[in-house]
Amino acid sequence: MSGGAGFREGRLAIIAGGGRLPHDIAEAARGAGEDPFIVLLSGEADRDWSGFEHATVSVGDIAAVSALLRGKNLKRVVLSGSVKRRPEWRHLRPTLSSVVKLPSIVRTLFSGGDDTVLRMVIDLLEGEGCRIVGAQEIVPNLLATLGPLGRHAPSGEDLRDIAAGVAAADVLGALDIGQGAVAVGGRVVAVEGAEGTDSMLLRVAGLRAEGRISKRRRGVLVKLCKPQQDVRADLPTIGRSTVENAGHAGLAGIAVEAGRSLVLERDALVKAADEAGLFVIGIERAVRKDAT
Amino acid sequence: MSGGAGFREGRLAIIAGGGRLPHDIAEAARGAGEDPFIVLLSGEADRDWSGFEHATVSVGDIAAVSALLRGKNLKRVVLSGSVKRRPEWRHLRPTLSSVVKLPSIVRTLFSGGDDTVLRMVIDLLEGEGCRIVGAQEIVPNLLATLGPLGRHAPSGEDLRDIAAGVAAADVLGALDIGQGAVAVGGRVVAVEGAEGTDSMLLRVAGLRAEGRISKRRRGVLVKLCKPQQDVRADLPTIGRSTVENAGHAGLAGIAVEAGRSLVLERDALVKAADEAGLFVIGIERAVRKDAT
């Protein structure tokens, strides 16, 4: 499924935030014959990168990234991993060509949802002559597929929870607020903002322990791609820890958007879900915003 | 502003959950010449009610509530205070007349948003021959008024945060998920589900401490009435603790819907807000769902 030599212009760069996704992509890229160069975001990247050529830059250091892209002939860039902190404007180091955009950069950093910020980062990188490549273009089997991933499948009640979660995640995504929601017994009990999925699941576990969510209804986590987002960055992602946290929250399973979300450590995730009795399913949204 | 003797049919009942609102209403009702009877919800009501004639019932005990309504000639009912737990179906004690509705009651308790549940409770009480009275009909000066309540007013940046929070609270309310949202620097960072406002503000304080929300932008809490909700129950409510928690979260202020939210302990709240430098403002939504 390689794109052919013609598409492999220059060297591949992976700009790496936190979590295991960037490392998985780097390994997969190497397996596909690439020699990826890793740009680690300081304070965010949290893996051992000693096996790969890499350099560390601070999140707002556009000048350092630009110098690396040119110096290492990096022409294709994967943006991957979590970025928890946004740079303060004082810490931005623009290039000469990006300095004119600085007011708009600062405005976007402070006011934009994650999606708006990512689009700005993509614009800046494209301005440096790079092509942005989705993680799924390097490791296509990361994409969630349609239907159950493991042994368990949603019940009729779970399907109703999925529908409720989809409705909530859909409007949240359209407002660029978040990608996830938890529905229990047909009712949305938690919606994801800046805190992230794991933190939301922890909250649901707490509400359950306090008796504020019925212990007799299980519920589901739904994660959807934002309708307007660039699918080359920040696709909804689940991993083994998502399954574990969903289990701690007493949920019956997890639904993600097929073809537009990433499943990390698929074998370990499926094994954990099978053992815990949770389903993990790739779904198509019934209603797409762009279809109305 | 009394509705006249003709409207004072029977004795007033206050079905009381947690928080200080039910007690404030009871005091105000007594001041207006009423002799309110208090139906305390066990595990929820948390004040000293020794000054009022009262009885305690468990949340699902429809039969006990019905017997009280008849025995005490309670014809007008105020629903007030927080209810954190929903009854499990095993703990429901229906009356003969409500037993036919039991399947729908159970379904609503498990799947409905708060608004759906409240509408069911109102239906049940009306089925007992009661009239449901909004807290604001007993204590009209609880309602938030248009404009700043204290010394401080929102800046231009705060107004932008209010607009972002309104957009989020509006769609959440329409989905019967929650009434509140927090926006910082024009971006919605937290939305309220079953956890409640204070818990959401605590989360924002945590995100701020971790550096996941800029320390240089303050932000606002917005609480709106759900567009479809019955204004006789569960109006958005703020009190002094809301101001304190908003302050701990680093926010610049609080916006609530004028005429459709309740402000408790107004003097203490305004004093706390003035001292902490926070604004508290009653707003009209720019766009109403029912106007489109």
Are residues B126 and B154 both part of a single domain? no
Which has the minimum average pLDDT: B97-101, B143-147, B271-275?
B97-101
Q: Are residues A109 and A211 in the same domain?
A: no
Tell whether the model's pLDDT for residue B91 goes beyond 90: no
Distances (CA, A) of A101 to A108, A117, A213, A229, B184: 11, 13, 48, 22, 22
pLDDT at A290: 44
Across A16-25, A199-208, B280-289, least confident range: B280-289
Tokens of A225: 């791609």
Q: Inter-chain contact A214–B189, Cβ cutoff 8 Å?
A: no
Instruction: Name the residue range of residue B274's domain.
Output: 143-291
Residues of A in contact with B85 (CB under 8 A): 211-212
pLDDT band per the 50, 70, 90 thresholds, residue B7: low
Nearest CA in chain A to B83: A212
Per-residue pLDDT, B166: 96
Judged by CB atoms closer than 8 Å, whether chains meet at B211 and A85 is answered as: yes
Q: B84 and A212 in contact by Cβ < 8 A?
A: yes
d(CA A62, CA A128): 10
Residue B126 token pair: 């009306």
Q: Which of A104, A138, A172 is the last residue of a domain?
A: A138
A19 and A98, same domain (yes or no)? yes
A229 & A99 share domain: no
Mean pLDDT (whole number) for A7-28: 88
**In whole angstroms, what is the distance from residue A1 CA to residue A232 CA?**
18
Q: pLDDT digit string (tens) for B248-278?
A: 999 999 999 999 999 988 999 999 999 999 9
Distance between start and end Cα atoms, chain A: 33
**Beta carbon pairs, A and B, within 8 Å:** 104
**Can you give the pLDDT at residue B248?**
97
For residue B5, pLDDT beyond 50: no
Distance from CA of B211 to the nearest CA of A (A): 6
Which of B172, B207, B216 lies nearest to residue A88, judging by beta carbons? B216
Q: Tell me: the pLDDT tens digits for A248-278?
A: 999 999 999 999 999 988 999 999 999 999 9
Task: Give the strand pairing for A147-148 and A180-184.
Answer: unpaired
Q: What is the pLDDT of residue B119?
A: 81
Please say if the pLDDT value at position B181 is more than 80: yes
What's the rounded mean pLDDT across residues B230-242? 90
For residues A154 and A277, membership in a common domain is answered with yes
What pLDDT does B72 receive?
94
Percent of chain B at pLDDT > 90 equals 54
Six-digit token string for A229: 């987002």
Domain total of chain B: 2
Mean pLDDT of chain B: 88
Interface predicted TM-score (ipTM): 0.79
HEC letters along B233-257: CCCCEECHHHHHHHHHCCCCEEEEE
Same domain flag for A130 and A166: no
Q: Considering A105, A138, A171, which residue would you say is the last residue of a domain?
A: A138
Q: How many CB atoms lie within 10 A of CB A102?
A: 13
CA–CA distances in Å: residue A208 to residues A11, A108, A282, B91, B209: 49, 37, 26, 18, 26
Which residues share a beta bridge with A41?
A57
Q: Between vectors from CA A215 to CA A213 and to CA A220, what angle results, nearest 5°? A: 70
Q: Apex CA B144: angle with CA B143 and CA B149, to 5°?
A: 140
Per-residue model confidence (pLDDT) at position A36 = 95
CB–CB contact B177 A191 (8 Å)? yes
- Distance from C-alpha of A180 to C-alpha of B72, rounded to nearest angstrom: 48
CB A162, CB A154: distance < 8 Å = yes
The DSSP symbol for A287 reads: S
| pLDDT at site A286 | 62
B185 contact residues in A (CB cutoff 8 A): 110-111
Select the more confidently predicted residue: B122 or B153. B153
Q: Are A132 and A148 members of one domain?
A: no
Residue of higher predicted confidence among A186 and B110: A186
Query: What per-residue confidence (pLDDT) applies to A205?
Result: 97
- Asked whether residue B189 carries a pLDDT value surpassing 60, the answer given is yes
CATH code, domain carrying A24? 3.40.50.20
Asked if B187 lies within 8 A of A86 by C-beta distance, the reply is no
Residues of B in contact with A190 (CB under 8 A): 193-195
Residue B150 and residue B133 in one domain: no
Read off the pLDDT of residues B218-232 as tens digits, 9 standing for 90 and up: 999 999 998 888 888
Q: What's the CATH number where B152 sits?
A: 3.40.140.80
Query: Which tokens is A157 given?
Result: 């009640």
Is a pLDDT exceeding 80 seen at residue A99?
Answer: no
Is the same domain home to B41 and B125? yes
Please enumerate residues of A whose Cβ is less than 8 A from a Cβ of B: 84-86, 88, 110-113, 160, 167-168, 171-172, 175-178, 182, 185-191, 193-195, 199, 203, 206-207, 210-214, 216-217
Q: Is there a single domain that holds both residue B66 and residue B188?
A: no
Q: Do the Cβ atoms of A190 and B193 come within 8 Å?
A: yes
B113: closest CA among B53, B179, B158? B179
pLDDT digits (tens, 9 = 90+) for A119-172: 888 888 888 889 999 988 888 888 999 999 999 999 999 999 999 999 999 999
CA distance B11 to chain A (A): 32
A104 and A221 inside one domain = no
Domain-terminating residue out of A138, A163, A182 = A138
At residue B290 the predicted structure's pLDDT band, cuts being 50, 70 and 90, is: very low
Residues B278 and B147 reside in one and the same domain: yes
Q: Which segment, B6-20, B29-43, B98-112, is predicted with the most confidence on average?
A: B29-43
The minimal CB distance from A86 to the residues B160, B176, B214 is found for B214
Pair type for strands B279-283 and A147-148: unpaired
| Cβ within 8 Å, pair B212-A88 | no
Name the band, by pLDDT with cuts 50, 70 and 90, for residue A1.
Answer: very low
How confident is the model at residue A7, as a pLDDT?
Answer: 60
pLDDT above 90 covers a percentage of chain A that reads: 54
**CB spacing of A193 vs B194 below 8 angstroms:** no
For A52-65, b/e burial (b = at least 16 CB within 10 A) is bebeebebbbbbbb
Give the residue, A152 or B84, on which the prediction is more confident: A152
